[in-house]
Structure 1
Amino acid sequence: LLLKVVWLEAAAANWWQAIILAPLWGRWADIYGIFWFPPAREGGLGRSFREQVQQRDFFTVSLVTVLAAAVVGGLAGMLAGVAVWGVTHVLARWWTRDLGGLTGDTYGALCEIGEVVALAVLAAHLAR
């Protein structure tokens, strides 16, 4: 939470763009992890989430997120997305290797970490 406040403050006059885009990219990180990586346990929350996300859902959410990022944040919004994708992919692969898949807790972590990464990138580019 403290990192989020710090990055929002660093975004200066463009804080409103960061307020819109950080949660958007954070939620997208969840959908990415849910769609592309297996759940860790058969009866866990991860399995329940995975059963709800279809290919059409993933691509629709991705398209809407990218368009919103481009309109609201321009290049900074798109760079935030690339950074969130990279961090999300690395973490999801790591957790899949170590845990055998993703869990409800790792989905929550992907969302929170995705928001912080997006805010950091947005602050770096919007404060100029």
Structure 2
Amino acid sequence: MKQFLLALQFLTIIPVRIKEVAEENIAQSMIFFPAVGLLLGVILCACDGLLSQLGLIRFCADTLLVGLLIILTGAIHLDGLADTVDAFASGKDKDGMLRVMRDSNIGTMGALSLILALLIKIGLISSLASAKYPALILMCVLSRWAQVCAVFFLPYARGEGKAKLFIKGMNRNIFIFAGLSSLGIIFIAWRIKAILVFVSAAAFTWVCLKCLRRKFGGATGDTIGAISELAEIVVLFSVIILEGG
């Protein structure tokens, strides 16, 4: 239970505060990242049901859904996306890109990436038909699972940082359990088609990890957040493709 509350604390702004945390519990909390994704997905589905009763046009309602997700997560993954894009766009070497990611200011390319990511996400959600609720669940669960993959497969790219504690304590059991729980959740949500979405998310994550290893030599908190945001888009796009099948 403590690890779940830690995961909730790390991934959301839901008021959970655990004062004393053992170092090994930090990585172990990643077992419950997919469960936190499920909670976020259920909240989005419930709010979508409420918004549908208000008579709002679909685009407005879906914009509010995306806004709610941003609020619930404290926009931490979006911040990571912007910083990562700024680093790639800088054209610097590894150390230079890591310094760019440390900069608290968002550059032009980072800002554009945020705008595009949000517009694409809203547009994709608005394009969903009967599979909207499964899509919201899959989006939230598999994007958190992608974070677990990044922590498991990549070393830490910096000397110190918050994400180092996750990577330092990560092990095969955490990775396997998080993967199996993700598969179980999404299979219940959308049956066999969910497995195909899982494969597409896994393939995309693998490509991202190869790129990050080549460019940075590993992962940072920002790059993990960027993978999560982009994985949400990939999942939504995959559901739309499979929805009519």
Fold match (TM-score > 0.5): yes
1:76-91 matches, within 5 Å, as 76-91=193-208
Letter in 2 for 1:61: A
How far is the alpha carbon of 1:82 from its aligned partner?
A: 0.8
Counterparts of 2:150 and 2:126, CA distance in 1: 29
Report which stretch shifted further, 3-12 or 87-96: 3-12
**RMSD over aligned Cα atoms:** 1.4
TM-score calculated relative to the size of structure 1: 0.92
Q: Which residue of 1 aligns with 2:140?
A: 23
TM-score calculated relative to the size of structure 2: 0.50
Conserved? CA contact 1:14–1:127, under 8 Å = no
Match status 1:122 vs 2:245: no
Cα 1:95/1:10, change in 2 over 3 Å: same
Letter in 1 for 2:200: A
How far is the alpha carbon of 1:97 from its aligned partner?
A: 1.1
1:3 to 120, 125, 132: 120
2:131 to 11, 14, 21: 14
How far is the alpha carbon of 1:44 from its aligned partner?
A: 2.4
How far is the alpha carbon of 1:58 from its aligned partner?
A: 1.0
How far is the alpha carbon of 1:53 from its aligned partner?
A: 2.6
Segments of structure 2 that go 5 or more residues without pairing to the other structure are 1-117
1:35-54 matches, within 5 Å, as 35-54=152-171
Q: Which has the higher contact order (CA 8 A, sep 6+)?
A: 1
SS of residue in 2 equivalent to 1:12: coil
Number of aligned positions between the proteins: 128
1:57 to 164, 174, 198: 174
2:209 to 89, 92, 114: 92
Counterparts of 2:199 and 2:218, CA distance in 1: 23
Cα 1:110/1:41, change in 2 over 3 Å: same
Report which stretch shifted further, 54-63 or 104-113: 54-63
How far is the alpha carbon of 1:70 from its aligned partner?
A: 1.5
Letter in 1 for 2:130: A
Percent of residue pairs bearing the same amino acid type: 27
SS of residue in 1 equivalent to 2:130: helix
Larger radius of gyration: 2
Runs of 4+ that moved beyond 3 A: none
Segments of structure 1 that go 5 or more residues without pairing to the other structure are none
Q: Whose helix fraction is larger, Structure 1's or Structure 2's? A: 1
Counterparts of 1:108 and 1:127, CA distance in 2: 30
Letter in 2 for 1:106: T
Report which stretch shifted further, 56-65 or 75-84: 75-84
Counterparts of 1:125 and 1:9, CA distance in 2: 16
